[in-house]
Amino acid sequence: MTVDIRKLRHAVEVARSGSVTLAARNMFITQPALTRSIAEIEAQLGLQLFHRSSKGLKTTDVGKDFVSRAQKILYSFDDLMLHIGEHGNLNTGRLRIGFASSIFQLFAASTIIEIVKNFPSIRIETIAGSGEDLVPMLVSDELDLLFGRAGHMERWSELEIEKLSALYCKIMVRKDHPLSELPEMDPTDILAYPLAQAAVVEQGSSEIRGLYSLHELEPVEPFYICHDFELIKRIVLNSDAYSPVFNVTDNFDRLKERYMLMENTIGLPKQNLAIATYRNRERTPAVEKFIEYANIKIGIQ
């Protein structure tokens, strides 16, 4: 006994809509055709999946179980078709991008828009998080590529890293910060205040620890670490915290209106923006095209 995928979709939509009329409209088929499809499924199974009444259709107990399992089958089937499509051409498939800190989404936006404009059939999914969370997703084929800081991602030997651009760094504080009153300042003046960081340089990293150790200082509590750069900016505006900020050019005009920006006098190491893929998996055409566009838009030419 077999029930084809099309009929599974019919049953799931009828259960969701609670009405053959509404389900038929949503699926762009005639009501008699949908009624006949549901009747054929029930005849094949020898089970009643729906209670009929003047108020519409409602799943029976066995119908609820059938629809629940059918939804999982349809999700797996659709996922399979997407996955297979990724290895064909750029007229179908998907691109799953991880950002090791949400700030990097700003740098990738123009590349994503270019993909959307030129290949509208490509499904794009993005997620932001820490490298520790996203790298396992990349390795297990839950992501296609990872966008972030080269120095951070190079810790994983299973990744293939392609550097795109140097990252310029400034130190950001609010305009009326006590540091603004100093005629001169050295690294210890800045390190004496709390750090607000959008997870580009993690609190526990050797880089941050090294800065404090170099000057024989203990990190100032509290630390503010999160993946939302907009939240970091609000924290800086409402506290004495400082935050290292990065850009692919030396132009930070978008921040100058509300913040005081200082040179990287605390000595954070030079950073590079990069894309990482899993070296043991062949790149799909969509991944190759994304990397090509990223090199054009923000890369080192």
What CATH number corresponds to the domain at position 114?
3.40.190.290
Q: Are 275 and 108 in contact (CB under 8 A)?
A: no
Q: Report the C-alpha gap between 292 and 168 in whole angstroms.
A: 22
- pLDDT bin (cut points 50, 70, 90) of residue 175 is very high
Percentage of the chain modeled with pLDDT above 70: 91
Provide the pLDDT for residue 176.
95
- pLDDT bin (cut points 50, 70, 90) of residue 136 is very high
Provide the pLDDT for residue 209.
72
Does residue 190 share a domain with residue 145? yes
Is the bond into 222 cis (omega within 30 degrees of 0)?
yes
Judge whether residue 154 has pLDDT over 80: yes
Does residue 119 share a domain with residue 68? no
Does residue 189 share a domain with residue 42? no
Judge whether residue 91 has pLDDT over 90: no
Provide the pLDDT for residue 89.
62
Which tokens is 114 given?
């270019």
Does residue 60 share a domain with residue 110? no
- pLDDT bin (cut points 50, 70, 90) of residue 64 is very high
Does residue 156 share a domain with residue 71? no
Does residue 138 share a domain with residue 74? no
| pLDDT tens string 260-296 | 999 998 888 888 999 999 999 888 888 999 999 999 8
Does residue 229 share a domain with residue 105? yes
What CATH number corresponds to the domain at position 11?
1.10.10.10
| pLDDT tens string 22-44 | 998 988 899 999 999 999 999 99
Q: How many domains does the chain have?
A: 2
Q: Which domain holds residue 70?
A: 5-86
Does residue 78 share a domain with residue 105? no
Write the DSSP symbol of residue 179: G
Share the mean pLDDT of the chain.
87
Count the helices and strands in the chain (H runs, E runs): 12, 11
Provide the pLDDT for residue 204.
43
First to last CA, the chain: 59
Domain-ending residue, one of 86, 107, 132:
86
Does residue 300 share a domain with residue 275? yes
Does residue 238 share a domain with residue 262? yes
Domain-ending residue, one of 86, 105, 122:
86
Does residue 130 share a domain with residue 203? yes
Judge whether residue 102 has pLDDT over 70: yes
Domain-ending residue, one of 86, 119, 146:
86
| Interval 237-258 mean pLDDT | 92
Query: What is the DSSP code string of 181-214?
Result: G-SS--HHHHHTS-BEE-SSS-TTSHHHHHHHHH
Does residue 179 share a domain with residue 31? no
Task: Give the Cβ contact number of residue 95 at 10 Å.
Answer: 23
pTM: 0.65
| pLDDT tens string 68-85 | 999 988 888 777 766 666
Distances (CA, A) of 235 to 128, 209, 239: 20, 22, 6
Provide the pLDDT for residue 239.
95
